[in-house]
Structure 1
Amino acid sequence: MKSIYEQALGDTYQLLHPKLQERYRLTGDAVFTGAGRMEEISGGSFAVRAMMVLGIRARLFFPERGRNIPFVIHNKVSRDAKGQETVHWDRTFDFRGKKRHFDAVMKWDSEEEQILDLFGKPALLGSSLSLHVDDKGAMHISSRSQWLPLFGMRIPLPRVFHGAAQIVESYDEERQCFRIRVHVRNPLFGTLFAYKGSFTGTRKDGSGGSRDET
């Protein structure tokens, strides 16, 4: 069975760096666990960061910023109430022992043929995603429409309230690691937050076997 990322990219999935192809082949019982450091976590005015405090309990936003921050990512696959595969993205940042989270789940929308990204636990924000592969084999992910998921409905957010995300994940052959850049921007407030860094990881399949992705 193809992962939701293979479905979104179609034939261009084969243009991804081989390490990224393995990394994003998340289907069935596959699990990916990675660890590394964020060189820098930045962005957001004092007022914006004060509001992000409200997102801590929902594992959605956090106000802390810094450099050389330990980072862990955990991806696993489950099925929702409709039996569709859902990919979990659990990200943890360690600010000197104070752990902050940025969690989401992604699923494939077969009607609109796109990936949907639901942020927080429980989900408090939804976004559709656009994916493409660049000429160096890196994965580019950007947000499109955004909404509030309420009672099974999507309440559209005006663009002025969007947190437009741009993510680039690549593989560094020289350092043998994944590299990640994330930038989230709002039309009114500018950059809400951004981070960049690197990590190594291991993918395990349903048979209990593992594969070092570094």
Structure 2
Amino acid sequence: MVRSPYELSTPPDVLDGLHPRLRTYFGAVPPGHVGRGEGVFDVVGTPRWWLWPVLVWFARDAVMFPVWEHDVPFTVENRPVRVGRGRERAVHVAVRACRTFRFRGGDRTMVDAITAGPDGLVDHLGRHGRVSALLRAEVDQDGSDAGALRLVSTRVTFRVLGREWGLPAVVAPRVTLVERFDDDADLQRVSLVLRAPFVGTLFRYEGAFRYAVVPEGER
């Protein structure tokens, strides 16, 4: 039975609380299929232009971009892959996501791969996965976000010269991602915020889209 990284690393009683329409997004993508979504981000980036030189460096590896735009059309494609990590190059089941943003200045694509690690979900950011974040998965049980999946980073590492280097908690940025389903609008809503101690919000996006798993080659 094919299982997604979320199913491999998150306790079943947590996933049981997911909104039924989110189970497709966080479930396994069968071989020969791809998960496709299309929608609009209300905001992308950061209005703090003085952070943009730093974001330029991350943009080179398709992690995040030096922008601040509203109403940005986007698409997302999720594909099952296998990635090798660590000195032993252990192979992990992963889902690689490619999010293409249609900015006014041209299209840009953000890439990451979610794997099931021994300590939980790990998100390897960018085309080369040099930055990774260990994620804690939670499902909201009450309130307006009941059934939503919340992912919060608990550790951030950089891969340099074949080794993983962890950032101290006092300076490590924190990622918070919330995926929820809006029944009234029949849309999946997503919000991501990257914050750093002493600095505040470095990058964020939020918007809504429709998503389905379809055979490869089908639009």
- Does TM-score exceed 0.5, indicating one fold? yes
Shifted more, 52-61 versus 166-175: the winner is 52-61
Is 1:100 the equivalent of 2:108?
A: yes
Any idea what the Cα deviations from partners look like across 1:32-55, whole Å, max 9, x if unmatched?
110100111243522211221122
Given that 1:169 and 1:180 are in contact with CA atoms closer than 8 Å, whether structure 2 keeps it comes out as yes
> What SS does the aligned partner of 2:16 have?
helix
Structure 2 unmatched ranges of 5 or more: 85-89
Task: Provide the rounded CA distance (Å) in 1 between the counterparts of 2:60 and 2:74.
Answer: 19
**Distance (whole Å) between structure 1 residues aligned to residue 91 and residue 200 of structure 2:** 39
Gaps of 5+ in 1: none
Match of 1:18 in 2: 20
Contact (CA 8 Å) 2:46, 2:67: kept in 1 or not?
A: no
> For 2:158 and 2:217, how far apart are their aligned partners in 1?
39
Q: Percent identity?
A: 25
Amino acid at match of 1:124: R
Asked if structure 1 preserves the Cα contact closer than 8 Å seen for 2:75 and 2:99, the reply is yes
Residues 93-128 of structure 1: CA deviation (Å, up to 9, x unaligned) = 111251123211111113x2x011111111221110
Q: Distance in 2 between matches of 1:70 and 1:96?
A: 10
Distance 1:20 1:80 in 2: 24
- Check conservation: 2:149, 2:179, Cα contact below 8 A: yes
TM-score (norm 2): 0.86
Q: Which residue in the other structure is 2:7 paired with?
A: 6
Number of corresponding residues: 207
Q: Equivalents in 1 of 2:200, 2:158: separation in Å?
A: 21
If the length of structure 1 is used for normalisation, what is the TM-score?
A: 0.88
Q: Equivalences for 1:139-178 in 2 at 5 Å?
A: 139-178=149-188
**Counterpart in 1 of 2:121?**
115
Q: Is the 8 A contact 1:75 1:87 kept in 2?
A: yes
- The equivalent of 1:85 in structure 2 is 93
Could you tell me which amino acid in structure 2 is paired with residue 7 of structure 1? L
Residue 46 of structure 1 pairs with residue 49 of structure 2: yes
- Measured in 1, the distance between the counterparts of 2:76 and 2:173 equals 21
CA distance change for structure 1 residues 43 and 96 in 2, over 3 Å: closer, same or farther? closer
- CA deviation profile, 1:180-211 (whole Å, cap 9, x unmatched): 01111000211001111100122126xx698x
Q: Which amino acid aligns with 2:27?
A: R
What is the root-mean-square deviation of aligned Cα atoms in Å? 2.1
Q: Which amino acid aligns with 2:15?
A: Y
CA deviations on 1:65-111 (whole Å, 9 max, x unpaired) are: 1110011111111123444311102112111251123211111113x
